[in-house]
Amino acid sequence: MHDGQLLALMKCLAPEQVEQIGRHAQVLTGIDNMQPVGRRALAGRLRLPEREVRTIAANLKDQGLLTLDAAGMQLTPKADQVLPGARDLTRSLFGLHDLEDRLSKALNIPYVLVVAGDAEKDVQVLREVGRACAHRLRSLLSGQKTVAIAGGSTMMETARGMQFASLPEVTVVPARGGMGNSIETQANTIASELARRLGGRCKAIHVPDSLDASALGEMLRLPEVKEAMELLEKADVVVHGIALADDMALRRSLPPSIVQRIRENGAVGETFGDFFDRSGHTVYRMNTVGTGLGHNEKSHLIAAAAGARKAPAIIAALRRERHDSLITDESAAQEILSLL
């Protein structure tokens, strides 16, 4: 009897008890996502009555799984032993496993993880997508590995969601150069933070993200840039977000003529400087250090993107390039299946 059959049997025999266990698992994982957190804030996040959260928290405290002080609730080391099972149970009860299976088959991608909720309505969901992406990345790191990570808010949450480790043989390189005024979401900054948390090393690429072809060519001849680019091209794992074409065109301050061209050609998404249509075909390509990244067949390619608005871009990005992993949220997953 596999896990799905066992859960179905438990629901049939004792539905109220299964629901109660599921609530405990939901509260436990909710604390892990938000700790330290107060009971009122957690109740609001989980959309549960505060009285119920208070009762469950007291039970979990009695089991030695959490502590409660002025800062809020936090999990104890003992909770680490039951968290994976609690997360799995919560995902099964919310139907996320079924959603993942359907997405995996529809998109022909081996690993799909769906986070409950809608990142467009709740910023905490984006944090959870980042944490899930970090967990997936960490599971792929052993020995001497090179990780390339792009910029953007989802990748920022991925770096922040990585648990501290000691992996001195891991090298992290940014998959893009600098862009715009938001330093914290630039690939160099994110790569540095990810390397710090992994206990590895970071090889920054100090090149603006958008240059004309001749200027980019000159920059790539610099020894320190050349070394980083060689690492980038041979990355074992590539992690990136997926942007909406219109949003990225405006964020990069592209000339009006280029923006019009991108729109007229039906661009829906952007990754690594490539703007692509619903079929995944490039309609405009920028001169950037990340151009063509992901074409290395030996790289494990991870995409993380959330929000129903990004569904067409996610589909197109996966049609465009072979991916091994997709991390998304419930709203995007449902919209993707609806469009397909």
Instruction: Give residue limits of the domains in the chain.
Output: 3-93, 96-339
Residue 274 bridge partners (DSSP): 271, 285
Q: Does domain 3-93 have CATH number 3.30.70.270?
A: no
User: Is this structure's pTM higher than 0.95?
Assistant: no
Angle at 74 between CA 93 and CA 330, to 5 degrees: 30
Name residue 193's amino acid: E
d(CA 323, CA 107): 10
Name the DSSP letter for residue 163. Answer: P
- Note the CATH architecture for domain 96-339: 3-Layer(aba) Sandwich (3.40)
pLDDT at 229: 76
What are the Cα distances from residue 296, in Å, to 138, 211, 287, 300?
Answer: 20, 24, 19, 9
Q: What's the pLDDT tens digit per position in 10-42? A: 667 667 777 788 889 889 988 888 888 899 988
Nearest partner of 86 among 60, 48, 113, 112, judged by Cα: 60
Q: What's the pLDDT tens digit per position in 271-290? A: 988 899 999 999 998 866 65
pLDDT at 218: 62
Nearest partner of 310 among 242, 252, 240, 239, judged by Cα: 242
The number of beta carbons lying within 10 Å of the beta carbon of residue 234 is 13
pLDDT at 112 over 70: yes
